[in-house]
């Protein structure tokens, strides 16, 4: 879908480390993202080898001509196209505008999955200051309470910094957040937390996990949120959609997750309809 003039287009995608046909997947990802012309991209599981022979974020930033910051995490030996590398699986933010400032946020973790954090940055889109926060919550099964605490901590620790900006949080939640969870987060943080995909017209179920040779997985675990003070009007949100969801002729997908994309108009504000049962 063509980006409207003046819109800010945000994409989030879990890039699946170096798994599968890595270089083929990266070419597919770069090709589709080039056509989408995003302004901001948040990457999770962005693999970077310690010798920099493999570097997802740098590759995409070079192809797309974007500024980039990277937060290394989860260092271990990994296979990338059958070759072994000592790699990070970290977070990255890419932007067509200069990333003026950036910082890390620590979150509660567990002994089984200790290396979790959030990466934030600020930039200008025209005259509007944007704060973008990228995160990847724990993958451990049965840990929805920890995931909730991680997300709440990210919001609480960054709320003051992001106060004078338009703030978006993007990432892989590893659980399907429902309306009750959004409401609970709002009560705890004192903020309005808006699902940009749905507020931008995205359709349910909007699942973001790839499952081949099975019924579609309806789990919508990858999100873009807009966070505002109580009573503040939202920027207009359009074209919420699932992307990077088409395999090549041999059945290879760009990642094991689909991406999420939304367009934002800063100058045209409205208060969108928010579903009361499920977000």
pLDDT in tens, 32-87: 999 999 999 999 999 999 999 999 999 999 999 999 999 999 999 999 999 999 99
Specify the pLDDT at position 275. 46
Report pLDDT for 180: 84
Q: From residue 267, how far is each of 235, 237, 261, 264 by CA, in Å?
A: 7, 11, 19, 9
**Is 70 exceeded by the pLDDT of residue 274?**
no
pLDDT, average across residues 8-18: 98
Domains, the chain, ordered by start:
8-270 (3.60.10.10)
Q: Which residues pair with 130 in a beta bridge?
A: 123, 166
How far is CA 124 from each of CA 80, 128, 272, rounded to the nearest angstrom?
36, 5, 24
- Are 222 and 13 in contact by the 8 Å Cβ rule? The answer is yes
**What is the pLDDT, as a whole number, of residue 110?**
95
Residue 182 confidence (pLDDT) above 90 = no
Q: Mean pLDDT score of the chain, rounded to an integer?
A: 92
Pairing of strands 8-14, 40-49: parallel
| pLDDT value for 172 | 98
Q: Using alpha carbons, list the distances in angstroms from residue 179 to 182, 207, 276.
A: 5, 16, 7
At 269, the pLDDT band (50, 70, 90 cuts) reads low
User: How is residue 125 written in tokens?
Assistant: 């889109």
**Mean pLDDT value across residues 142-166:** 94
CA gap 165, 154 in Å, rounded:
16
Tokens at 277, concatenated: 């049962």
pLDDT, one tens digit per residue, over 87-112 is 999 999 999 999 989 999 999 999 99
Alpha-carbon distance of 168 to 194, in angstroms, equals: 9
């Amino acid at each position: 879908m063509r980006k409207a003039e003046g819109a800010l287009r945000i994409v989030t995608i879990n890039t699946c480390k170096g798994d599968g046909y890595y270089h083929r997947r990266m070419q597919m990802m770069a090709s589709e993202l080039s056509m989408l012309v995003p302004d901001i991209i948040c990457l999770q599981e962005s693999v970077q080898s310690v010798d920099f022979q493999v570097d997802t974020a740098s590759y995409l930033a070079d192809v797309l001509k974007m500024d980039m910051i990277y937060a290394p995490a989860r260092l271990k030996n990994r296979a990338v196209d059958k070759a072994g590398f000592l790699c990070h699986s970290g977070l990255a933010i890419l932007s067509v505008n200069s990333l003026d400032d950036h910082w890390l946020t620590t979150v509660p973790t567990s002994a089984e999955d200790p290396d979790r954090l959030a990466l934030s940055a600020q930039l200008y889109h025209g005259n509007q200051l944007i704060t973008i926060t990228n995160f990847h919550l724990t993958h451990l099964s049965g840990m929805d309470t920890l995931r909730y605490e991680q997300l709440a901590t990210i919001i609480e620790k960054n709320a003051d910094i992001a106060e004078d900006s338009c703030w978006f949080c993007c990432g892989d939640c590893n659980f399907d957040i429902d309306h009750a969870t959004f409401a609970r987060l709002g009560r705890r943080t004192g903020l309005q937390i808006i699902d940009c995909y749905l507020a931008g017209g995205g359709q349910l179920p909007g699942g973001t996990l790839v499952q081949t040779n099975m019924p579609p997985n309806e789990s919508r675990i990858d999100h873009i949120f807009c966070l505002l003070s109580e009573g503040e009007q939202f920027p207009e949100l359009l074209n919420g959609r699932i992307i990077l969801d088409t395999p090549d002729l041999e059945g290879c997908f760009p990642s094991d997750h689909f991406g999420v994309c939304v367009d934002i108009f800063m100058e045209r504000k409205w208060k969108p309809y928010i579903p009361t049962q499920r977000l």
